[in-house]
Chain A
Amino acid sequence: MRIVMDREYCVGSGQCVLSAPELFDQSEEDGRVLLRTARPEPAAIDRSRIAVDLCPSRALSLADD
Protein backbone atom coordinates (compact mmCIF):
# COMPACT_ATOMS: atom_id res chain seq x y z
CA MET A 1 0.00 0.00 0.00
CA ARG A 2 1.38 3.36 -1.07
CA ILE A 3 0.04 6.88 -0.53
CA VAL A 4 -0.03 8.95 -3.71
CA MET A 5 -0.34 12.72 -3.52
CA ASP A 6 -0.93 15.34 -6.15
CA ARG A 7 0.14 18.61 -4.57
CA GLU A 8 -1.34 20.60 -7.45
CA TYR A 9 -4.78 19.79 -6.07
CA CYS A 10 -3.93 20.39 -2.40
CA VAL A 11 -5.69 23.34 -0.70
CA GLY A 12 -4.01 22.87 2.68
CA SER A 13 -7.11 22.04 4.70
CA GLY A 14 -4.98 19.85 7.00
CA GLN A 15 -7.52 17.04 7.27
CA CYS A 16 -4.80 14.47 6.51
CA VAL A 17 -2.62 15.83 9.32
CA LEU A 18 -5.54 15.62 11.75
CA SER A 19 -6.29 12.04 10.64
CA ALA A 20 -2.76 10.64 10.59
CA PRO A 21 -0.09 13.02 11.90
CA GLU A 22 2.52 10.25 11.61
CA LEU A 23 1.99 10.13 7.83
CA PHE A 24 1.30 13.73 6.83
CA ASP A 25 2.61 17.21 7.47
CA GLN A 26 1.95 20.66 6.00
CA SER A 27 4.49 22.96 4.37
CA GLU A 28 5.27 26.16 6.30
CA GLU A 29 5.48 27.97 2.99
CA ASP A 30 2.06 27.35 1.46
CA GLY A 31 0.27 24.94 3.79
CA ARG A 32 0.33 22.13 1.24
CA VAL A 33 0.65 18.47 2.15
CA LEU A 34 4.01 16.83 2.80
CA LEU A 35 4.35 13.07 3.09
CA ARG A 36 6.33 11.82 6.07
CA THR A 37 6.23 8.34 4.55
CA ALA A 38 4.55 6.99 1.44
CA ARG A 39 4.20 3.48 2.86
CA PRO A 40 2.08 3.38 6.01
CA GLU A 41 2.73 0.67 8.61
CA PRO A 42 -0.14 -1.87 8.78
CA ALA A 43 -1.40 -0.15 11.95
CA ALA A 44 -1.74 3.16 10.11
CA ILE A 45 -3.53 1.90 7.00
CA ASP A 46 -7.01 2.64 8.35
CA ARG A 47 -5.96 6.16 9.23
CA SER A 48 -4.49 6.67 5.77
CA ARG A 49 -7.83 5.59 4.24
CA ILE A 50 -9.64 8.14 6.41
CA ALA A 51 -7.17 10.83 5.34
CA VAL A 52 -7.82 10.01 1.67
CA ASP A 53 -11.60 10.12 2.20
CA LEU A 54 -11.50 13.41 4.11
CA CYS A 55 -9.21 15.24 1.68
CA PRO A 56 -11.61 17.88 0.30
CA SER A 57 -9.71 18.47 -2.92
CA ARG A 58 -8.94 14.82 -3.77
CA ALA A 59 -5.21 15.41 -3.63
CA LEU A 60 -4.62 11.99 -2.03
CA SER A 61 -5.16 8.43 -3.15
CA LEU A 62 -3.90 4.93 -2.33
CA ALA A 63 -2.09 2.62 -4.76
CA ASP A 64 -1.87 -1.14 -4.35
CA ASP A 65 1.81 -1.66 -4.99
Chain B
Amino acid sequence: MVQNRMLTSVSSAAGAEPPAFPMPRTCPFDPPAEYAALRIERPVTQVRLPTGQLAWLVTRYEDVRRLLTDPRVSSDREHPNLPLTEPVTPESRRRIAAVGRSLIGLDPPEHAPRRRMLVTEFTVRRIQALRPHIQQVVDGCIDELLAGPRPADLVAALSLPVPSMVICELLGVPYSDREFFERCSTAQLRRSIPAEERQRTTGELRAYLDRLVTAKEAAPGEDLLGRLIVHNRETPVFDHELLVGLAMLLLVAGHESTANMISLGVVGLLEHPEQLAQITADPAAVDMAVEELLRYFCIVDAQPRVAAADIEIGGVTIPAGDGLLIAFAAANRDEEAFPAASTMDLGRGARNHVAFGYGIHQCLGQNLAREELQIVFSTLFARVPGLRLAARVEELPFKKDSNVYGIDQLPVTW
Protein backbone atom coordinates (compact mmCIF):
# COMPACT_ATOMS: atom_id res chain seq x y z
CA MET B 1 0.00 0.00 0.00
CA VAL B 2 2.78 2.39 0.80
CA GLN B 3 6.07 1.29 -0.74
CA ASN B 4 5.33 1.85 -4.42
CA ARG B 5 3.83 5.27 -4.09
CA MET B 6 4.87 7.71 -6.80
CA LEU B 7 6.43 10.91 -5.57
CA THR B 8 3.77 13.57 -5.40
CA SER B 9 5.35 16.46 -7.19
CA VAL B 10 5.44 19.88 -5.63
CA SER B 11 5.28 23.06 -7.59
CA SER B 12 8.60 24.86 -7.53
CA ALA B 13 7.77 27.91 -9.61
CA ALA B 14 9.37 31.00 -8.14
CA GLY B 15 6.83 33.33 -6.60
CA ALA B 16 4.14 30.64 -6.47
CA GLU B 17 1.86 30.66 -3.42
CA PRO B 18 3.54 28.45 -0.77
CA PRO B 19 1.73 25.17 -0.09
CA ALA B 20 -0.72 25.05 2.80
CA PHE B 21 0.27 23.47 6.11
CA PRO B 22 -0.72 21.14 7.76
CA MET B 23 -0.67 18.92 4.68
CA PRO B 24 -3.31 16.18 4.49
CA ARG B 25 -2.52 12.50 5.05
CA THR B 26 -3.74 10.27 2.23
CA CYS B 27 -2.65 6.89 3.64
CA PRO B 28 -3.52 6.21 7.30
CA PHE B 29 -0.02 4.85 7.99
CA ASP B 30 2.01 7.50 6.20
CA PRO B 31 2.85 11.13 6.76
CA PRO B 32 1.58 13.57 4.12
CA ALA B 33 2.67 12.36 0.66
CA GLU B 34 4.09 15.79 -0.24
CA TYR B 35 6.94 15.32 2.25
CA ALA B 36 8.73 12.81 0.00
CA ALA B 37 9.10 15.27 -2.88
CA LEU B 38 9.85 18.21 -0.60
CA ARG B 39 12.75 16.36 1.06
CA ILE B 40 14.37 15.97 -2.36
CA GLU B 41 13.34 19.12 -4.22
CA ARG B 42 12.92 21.77 -1.51
CA PRO B 43 14.06 20.43 1.86
CA VAL B 44 13.57 23.82 3.53
CA THR B 45 10.57 25.58 2.03
CA GLN B 46 7.98 28.15 2.96
CA VAL B 47 4.45 27.02 3.80
CA ARG B 48 1.25 28.93 4.55
CA LEU B 49 -0.45 28.25 7.87
CA PRO B 50 -4.21 28.47 8.58
CA THR B 51 -3.41 31.66 10.51
CA GLY B 52 -2.11 33.22 7.30
CA GLN B 53 1.44 33.14 8.71
CA LEU B 54 4.35 31.92 6.60
CA ALA B 55 6.84 29.46 8.09
CA TRP B 56 9.78 27.38 6.88
CA LEU B 57 9.03 23.65 6.75
CA VAL B 58 12.13 21.50 7.33
CA THR B 59 11.80 17.90 6.09
CA ARG B 60 15.25 16.26 5.90
CA TYR B 61 16.59 14.21 8.80
CA GLU B 62 20.02 15.86 8.89
CA ASP B 63 18.55 19.37 8.73
CA VAL B 64 16.00 18.53 11.43
CA ARG B 65 18.68 17.28 13.83
CA ARG B 66 20.98 20.18 12.99
CA LEU B 67 18.35 22.84 13.66
CA LEU B 68 17.16 21.21 16.87
CA THR B 69 20.71 21.46 18.26
CA ASP B 70 21.39 24.94 16.87
CA PRO B 71 21.52 27.60 19.62
CA ARG B 72 20.17 30.13 17.11
CA VAL B 73 16.86 28.26 17.01
CA SER B 74 14.45 29.43 19.73
CA SER B 75 11.50 27.59 21.31
CA ASP B 76 9.96 30.83 22.62
CA ARG B 77 6.20 30.22 22.61
CA GLU B 78 5.56 33.92 23.08
CA HIS B 79 7.28 35.00 19.87
CA PRO B 80 4.68 36.53 17.50
CA ASN B 81 6.08 34.51 14.57
CA LEU B 82 5.89 31.14 16.31
CA PRO B 83 4.03 29.01 13.72
CA LEU B 84 0.54 28.07 14.90
CA THR B 85 -1.55 25.50 13.08
CA GLU B 86 -4.80 27.23 13.94
CA PRO B 87 -6.02 30.77 14.49
CA VAL B 88 -5.91 31.65 18.17
CA THR B 89 -7.54 34.26 20.34
CA PRO B 90 -5.33 36.47 22.54
CA GLU B 91 -6.62 34.39 25.47
CA SER B 92 -5.50 31.02 24.04
CA ARG B 93 -2.19 32.59 23.00
CA ARG B 94 -1.66 33.52 26.64
CA ARG B 95 -2.39 29.91 27.63
CA ILE B 96 0.06 28.52 25.07
CA ALA B 97 2.65 30.94 26.44
CA ALA B 98 1.86 29.97 30.06
CA VAL B 99 2.35 26.25 29.39
CA GLY B 100 5.49 27.07 27.39
CA ARG B 101 7.02 29.11 30.21
CA SER B 102 7.03 26.06 32.49
CA LEU B 103 9.46 24.12 30.25
CA ILE B 104 8.94 23.57 26.53
CA GLY B 105 9.03 27.23 25.54
CA LEU B 106 12.31 28.01 27.30
CA ASP B 107 15.71 28.58 25.73
CA PRO B 108 19.11 28.30 27.42
CA PRO B 109 20.06 29.28 30.06
CA GLU B 110 16.56 29.31 31.66
CA HIS B 111 15.71 25.83 30.40
CA ALA B 112 18.33 23.68 32.11
CA PRO B 113 17.46 24.28 35.81
CA ARG B 114 13.78 23.46 35.17
CA ARG B 115 14.54 20.37 33.11
CA ARG B 116 17.05 19.10 35.65
CA MET B 117 14.61 19.45 38.52
CA LEU B 118 12.15 17.29 36.59
CA VAL B 119 14.38 14.81 34.85
CA THR B 120 15.27 13.00 38.07
CA GLU B 121 11.70 11.65 37.93
CA PHE B 122 12.31 10.22 34.45
CA THR B 123 15.81 8.75 34.61
CA VAL B 124 16.33 5.30 33.14
CA ARG B 125 16.66 3.85 36.66
CA ARG B 126 13.46 5.47 37.96
CA ILE B 127 11.47 4.34 34.94
CA GLN B 128 12.81 0.79 35.18
CA ALA B 129 11.65 0.71 38.79
CA LEU B 130 8.08 1.36 37.56
CA ARG B 131 8.14 -1.75 35.35
CA PRO B 132 6.38 -4.16 37.76
CA HIS B 133 3.67 -1.60 38.44
CA ILE B 134 3.07 -0.91 34.74
CA GLN B 135 2.93 -4.66 34.11
CA GLN B 136 0.20 -4.92 36.77
CA VAL B 137 -1.77 -2.09 35.17
CA VAL B 138 -1.52 -3.73 31.73
CA ASP B 139 -2.50 -7.16 33.11
CA GLY B 140 -5.49 -5.62 34.88
CA CYS B 141 -6.71 -3.98 31.66
CA ILE B 142 -6.29 -7.22 29.70
CA ASP B 143 -8.15 -9.21 32.42
CA GLU B 144 -11.09 -6.85 32.00
CA LEU B 145 -10.88 -6.95 28.23
CA LEU B 146 -11.01 -10.77 28.22
CA ALA B 147 -13.89 -10.82 30.69
CA GLY B 148 -15.91 -8.36 28.60
CA PRO B 149 -17.95 -8.62 25.40
CA ARG B 150 -16.54 -9.08 21.91
CA PRO B 151 -15.89 -7.05 19.85
CA ALA B 152 -14.35 -4.50 22.20
CA ASP B 153 -12.90 -1.01 21.71
CA LEU B 154 -9.20 -1.38 22.44
CA VAL B 155 -8.79 2.39 22.89
CA ALA B 156 -11.19 2.38 25.85
CA ALA B 157 -10.00 -1.00 27.16
CA LEU B 158 -6.23 -0.59 26.93
CA SER B 159 -4.71 2.26 24.90
CA LEU B 160 -6.08 5.06 27.09
CA PRO B 161 -6.32 3.49 30.57
CA VAL B 162 -2.72 2.21 30.69
CA PRO B 163 -0.93 5.55 30.19
CA SER B 164 -3.69 7.45 32.03
CA MET B 165 -3.36 5.29 35.14
CA VAL B 166 0.44 5.44 35.02
CA ILE B 167 0.70 9.21 34.58
CA CYS B 168 -2.04 9.86 37.19
CA GLU B 169 -0.17 7.86 39.77
CA LEU B 170 3.17 9.42 38.86
CA LEU B 171 1.83 12.99 39.00
CA GLY B 172 -0.63 12.50 41.84
CA VAL B 173 -3.77 13.23 39.80
CA PRO B 174 -6.87 11.22 40.87
CA TYR B 175 -7.53 8.57 38.21
CA SER B 176 -11.24 8.79 39.03
CA ASP B 177 -11.22 12.15 37.18
CA ARG B 178 -9.98 10.52 33.98
CA GLU B 179 -13.16 11.03 31.95
CA PHE B 180 -12.90 14.75 32.56
CA PHE B 181 -9.23 15.22 31.72
CA GLU B 182 -9.21 12.75 28.83
CA ARG B 183 -12.04 14.72 27.23
CA CYS B 184 -10.26 18.04 27.84
CA SER B 185 -6.91 16.93 26.49
CA THR B 186 -8.38 15.27 23.41
CA ALA B 187 -10.27 18.46 22.62
CA GLN B 188 -7.11 20.57 22.97
CA LEU B 189 -5.43 18.74 20.13
CA ARG B 190 -8.29 18.59 17.63
CA ARG B 191 -8.35 21.19 14.88
CA SER B 192 -11.93 20.27 13.87
CA ILE B 193 -13.35 21.24 17.27
CA PRO B 194 -14.37 24.93 17.28
CA ALA B 195 -11.77 27.21 18.86
CA GLU B 196 -14.20 28.49 21.53
CA GLU B 197 -14.94 24.97 22.69
CA ARG B 198 -11.27 24.03 22.80
CA GLN B 199 -10.53 27.20 24.70
CA ARG B 200 -13.30 26.43 27.19
CA THR B 201 -12.12 22.85 27.85
CA THR B 202 -8.51 24.01 28.18
CA GLY B 203 -9.70 26.58 30.69
CA GLU B 204 -11.60 23.89 32.64
CA LEU B 205 -8.54 21.64 32.75
CA ARG B 206 -6.36 24.52 33.86
CA ALA B 207 -8.79 25.44 36.66
CA TYR B 208 -8.91 21.78 37.76
CA LEU B 209 -5.11 21.51 37.90
CA ASP B 210 -4.87 24.89 39.63
CA ARG B 211 -7.08 23.53 42.46
CA LEU B 212 -5.06 20.29 42.54
CA VAL B 213 -1.71 22.11 42.79
CA THR B 214 -3.13 24.42 45.50
CA ALA B 215 -4.22 21.38 47.54
CA LYS B 216 -0.78 19.79 47.11
CA GLU B 217 0.97 23.00 48.17
CA ALA B 218 -0.90 22.72 51.48
CA ALA B 219 -0.20 18.97 51.84
CA PRO B 220 2.38 17.66 49.34
CA GLY B 221 2.08 13.90 48.92
CA GLU B 222 4.43 11.18 47.66
CA ASP B 223 4.06 11.98 43.98
CA LEU B 224 5.87 14.01 41.32
CA LEU B 225 3.95 17.24 41.92
CA GLY B 226 4.32 16.84 45.70
CA ARG B 227 8.07 16.21 45.42
CA LEU B 228 8.47 19.23 43.12
CA ILE B 229 6.63 21.43 45.60
CA VAL B 230 8.91 20.27 48.44
CA HIS B 231 12.05 20.58 46.32
CA ASN B 232 10.94 24.07 45.32
CA ARG B 233 10.89 25.22 48.91
CA GLU B 234 14.66 24.58 49.01
CA THR B 235 15.47 25.68 45.45
CA PRO B 236 12.74 27.90 44.01
CA VAL B 237 12.41 27.02 40.31
CA PHE B 238 8.66 26.57 39.70
CA ASP B 239 6.15 29.03 41.15
CA HIS B 240 2.44 28.15 41.42
CA GLU B 241 1.53 29.22 37.90
CA LEU B 242 4.47 27.36 36.36
CA LEU B 243 3.54 24.22 38.30
CA VAL B 244 0.00 24.36 36.92
CA GLY B 245 1.36 24.77 33.39
CA LEU B 246 3.73 21.91 33.95
CA ALA B 247 1.01 19.64 35.36
CA MET B 248 -1.05 20.36 32.26
CA LEU B 249 1.85 19.56 29.94
CA LEU B 250 2.76 16.31 31.69
CA LEU B 251 -0.82 15.11 32.05
CA VAL B 252 -1.76 15.72 28.42
CA ALA B 253 1.53 14.55 26.91
CA GLY B 254 1.70 11.63 29.34
CA HIS B 255 -1.47 9.87 28.32
CA GLU B 256 -2.62 11.16 24.95
CA SER B 257 0.54 10.44 22.96
CA THR B 258 1.23 6.99 24.42
CA ALA B 259 -2.42 6.02 23.94
CA ASN B 260 -2.20 6.89 20.26
CA MET B 261 1.04 4.96 19.82
CA ILE B 262 -0.49 1.87 21.48
CA SER B 263 -3.47 1.91 19.08
CA LEU B 264 -1.42 2.57 15.96
CA GLY B 265 1.19 0.01 17.01
CA VAL B 266 -1.46 -2.68 17.48
CA VAL B 267 -2.86 -1.97 14.01
CA GLY B 268 0.64 -1.94 12.49
CA LEU B 269 1.50 -5.28 14.11
CA LEU B 270 -1.81 -6.95 13.17
CA GLU B 271 -1.33 -5.77 9.59
CA HIS B 272 2.13 -7.39 9.47
CA PRO B 273 1.51 -10.85 10.97
CA GLU B 274 4.90 -12.22 9.88
CA GLN B 275 6.65 -9.43 11.79
CA LEU B 276 4.33 -9.80 14.76
CA ALA B 277 5.30 -13.49 14.86
CA GLN B 278 8.95 -12.47 15.28
CA ILE B 279 8.26 -10.52 18.44
CA THR B 280 5.90 -13.09 19.94
CA ALA B 281 8.59 -15.74 19.35
CA ASP B 282 11.36 -13.60 20.83
CA PRO B 283 10.31 -11.23 23.63
CA ALA B 284 13.76 -9.59 23.50
CA ALA B 285 12.86 -8.29 20.03
CA VAL B 286 10.09 -6.09 21.45
CA ASP B 287 12.40 -3.20 22.43
CA MET B 288 13.66 -2.76 18.88
CA ALA B 289 10.16 -3.25 17.47
CA VAL B 290 8.92 -0.36 19.62
CA GLU B 291 11.65 1.93 18.20
CA GLU B 292 10.56 1.05 14.66
CA LEU B 293 6.87 1.60 15.44
CA LEU B 294 7.77 5.01 16.90
CA ARG B 295 9.73 5.91 13.77
CA TYR B 296 7.16 4.57 11.34
CA PHE B 297 4.03 6.12 12.87
CA CYS B 298 5.66 9.29 14.27
CA ILE B 299 2.48 10.71 15.79
CA VAL B 300 3.83 14.24 16.22
CA ASP B 301 3.97 15.66 12.71
CA ALA B 302 5.99 18.84 13.34
CA GLN B 303 7.02 21.19 16.13
CA PRO B 304 7.28 24.98 15.93
CA ARG B 305 10.43 27.05 16.45
CA VAL B 306 11.65 30.56 15.60
CA ALA B 307 14.97 31.57 14.02
CA ALA B 308 16.74 33.89 16.47
CA ALA B 309 19.38 34.82 13.83
CA ASP B 310 19.85 34.35 10.08
CA ILE B 311 20.41 30.64 9.47
CA GLU B 312 21.69 29.06 6.26
CA ILE B 313 20.34 25.58 5.76
CA GLY B 314 19.09 23.35 2.95
CA GLY B 315 20.12 25.88 0.27
CA VAL B 316 18.19 28.81 1.74
CA THR B 317 18.83 31.54 4.28
CA ILE B 318 16.14 31.72 6.93
CA PRO B 319 15.97 35.34 8.10
CA ALA B 320 16.10 36.08 11.83
CA GLY B 321 12.58 36.21 13.28
CA ASP B 322 11.00 33.75 10.84
CA GLY B 323 9.02 30.77 12.08
CA LEU B 324 10.19 27.19 11.54
CA LEU B 325 8.24 23.94 11.42
CA ILE B 326 10.51 21.02 12.20
CA ALA B 327 8.84 18.02 10.56
CA PHE B 328 9.67 14.95 12.67
CA ALA B 329 7.32 12.78 10.59
CA ALA B 330 9.14 13.76 7.37
CA ALA B 331 12.60 13.23 8.89
CA ASN B 332 11.65 9.76 10.09
CA ARG B 333 10.90 8.74 6.49
CA ASP B 334 14.13 10.18 5.04
CA GLU B 335 15.75 7.48 2.88
CA GLU B 336 19.20 8.91 3.58
CA ALA B 337 18.82 8.12 7.26
CA PHE B 338 16.57 5.05 7.01
CA PRO B 339 16.91 2.90 3.85
CA ALA B 340 13.48 1.74 2.62
CA ALA B 341 12.08 4.28 5.06
CA SER B 342 8.45 3.70 4.02
CA THR B 343 8.66 0.05 5.00
CA MET B 344 7.84 -0.94 8.56
CA ASP B 345 10.69 -3.29 9.48
CA LEU B 346 10.69 -4.30 13.13
CA GLY B 347 14.19 -5.71 12.82
CA ARG B 348 15.62 -2.45 11.49
CA GLY B 349 17.41 -1.76 14.76
CA ALA B 350 17.43 2.02 14.33
CA ARG B 351 17.04 3.99 17.55
CA ASN B 352 18.09 7.26 15.95
CA HIS B 353 14.58 8.29 14.88
CA VAL B 354 13.23 11.68 15.92
CA ALA B 355 9.75 10.58 17.03
CA PHE B 356 10.55 12.11 20.44
CA GLY B 357 12.26 15.11 18.86
CA TYR B 358 15.93 15.95 19.35
CA GLY B 359 17.85 18.71 21.08
CA ILE B 360 17.34 20.00 24.61
CA HIS B 361 13.53 19.67 24.40
CA GLN B 362 13.54 16.00 23.42
CA CYS B 363 10.55 14.33 25.09
CA LEU B 364 10.99 14.23 28.87
CA GLY B 365 8.79 11.15 29.18
CA GLN B 366 10.32 9.16 26.33
CA ASN B 367 11.71 6.37 28.49
CA LEU B 368 8.37 5.99 30.26
CA ALA B 369 6.57 5.86 26.90
CA ARG B 370 9.03 3.24 25.61
CA GLU B 371 8.52 1.08 28.67
CA GLU B 372 4.72 1.31 28.48
CA LEU B 373 4.78 0.36 24.80
CA GLN B 374 7.20 -2.53 25.37
CA ILE B 375 5.05 -3.98 28.15
CA VAL B 376 1.76 -3.49 26.28
CA PHE B 377 2.91 -5.12 23.04
CA SER B 378 4.70 -8.03 24.69
CA THR B 379 1.78 -8.74 27.05
CA LEU B 380 -1.20 -8.15 24.75
CA PHE B 381 -0.19 -10.56 21.98
CA ALA B 382 0.99 -13.22 24.44
CA ARG B 383 -2.24 -13.15 26.43
CA VAL B 384 -4.62 -12.61 23.50
CA PRO B 385 -2.96 -14.60 20.69
CA GLY B 386 -6.11 -14.57 18.54
CA LEU B 387 -6.43 -10.77 18.63
CA ARG B 388 -7.66 -9.31 15.35
CA LEU B 389 -9.32 -6.16 14.04
CA ALA B 390 -13.12 -6.18 13.98
CA ALA B 391 -13.17 -3.53 11.24
CA ARG B 392 -11.26 -2.92 8.04
CA VAL B 393 -8.21 -0.68 8.44
CA GLU B 394 -9.69 1.83 5.97
CA GLU B 395 -12.81 2.12 8.15
CA LEU B 396 -10.94 2.97 11.36
CA PRO B 397 -11.49 6.52 12.67
CA PHE B 398 -7.95 7.89 12.31
CA LYS B 399 -7.42 11.31 13.91
CA LYS B 400 -6.81 13.26 10.73
CA ASP B 401 -7.59 16.57 12.41
CA SER B 402 -5.39 16.10 15.48
CA ASN B 403 -2.05 17.65 16.24
CA VAL B 404 -1.12 14.25 17.68
CA TYR B 405 -2.06 11.50 15.22
CA GLY B 406 -3.88 8.41 16.39
CA ILE B 407 -7.14 6.46 16.34
CA ASP B 408 -10.38 7.35 18.16
CA GLN B 409 -11.77 3.81 18.46
CA LEU B 410 -10.21 0.47 17.65
CA PRO B 411 -12.72 -2.39 17.40
CA VAL B 412 -11.01 -5.72 18.06
CA THR B 413 -12.07 -9.28 18.68
CA TRP B 414 -10.29 -12.56 19.46
Contact = CB atoms under 8 A, between A and B. Distances in A.
A11 B124 contact: no
SS class, residues of chain A in contact with chain B: loop
Interface stretch (B110-118, B216-224, B278-286): B110-118
B51 interface: no
Interface residues of A, number: 22
A49 to B, nearest CB: 11
Interface in A1-38: 8, 11-15, 17-19, 21, 26, 28-32
Contact of A56 (B116, B120, B124, B358): B358
B359 A30 contact: no
Contact of A30 (B116, B352, B357, B366): B116
A30 B360 CA distance: 15
A28 B112 CA distance: 16
Contacts, number: 63
Contacts of A54: 351-352
A7 to B, nearest CB: 10
Nearest to B366: A13
A65 B366 CA distance: 34
SS class, residues of chain B in contact with chain A: helix
Contacts of B351: 15, 18-19, 50, 54
A32 B119 CA distance: 8
A11 B362 contact: yes
Contacts of B123: 12, 14, 17, 26, 28, 31
Contacts of B125: 17, 26
B176 to A, nearest CB: 31
B180 to A, nearest CB: 31
B367 A56 contact: no
B358 A30 contact: no
Nearest to A32: B116
A31 B122 contact: yes
Interface string B52-70: 0000000000000000110
B352 A57 contact: no
Nearest to A12: B119
Nearest to A26: B123
A34 B69 CA distance: 21
Interface string A25-65: 01011111000000000000000001001101110000000
Contacts of B357: 56
Contacts of A57: 69, 359-360, 362
A30 B120 contact: yes
A26 B124 CA distance: 8
A56 B360 contact: yes
A19 B122 CA distance: 16
Contacts of A26: 123-125
A30 B69 contact: no
B124 A28 contact: no
Interface in B323-367: 351-352, 357-360, 362, 366-367
A23 to B, nearest CB: 13
Given A28-B120, A30-B120, A57-B69, A12 B115 contact: yes
Nearest to B121: A31
9 contacts: A11-B119, A11-B362, A13-B119, A21-B124, A26-B124, A30-B117, A31-B122, A54-B351, A57-B359
Closest 6 CB pairs of A and B: A31-B119, A12-B119, A56-B362, A30-B116, A14-B124, A17-B124
Interface of A: 8, 11-15, 17-19, 21, 26, 28-32, 50, 53-54, 56-58
Interface of B: 68-69, 112, 115-117, 119-120, 122-125, 351-352, 357-360, 362, 366-367
Given A17-B125, A30-B116, 10 more contacts: A11-B112, A14-B122, A15-B351, A28-B123, A29-B120, A30-B117, A31-B122, A53-B352, A56-B357, A57-B69
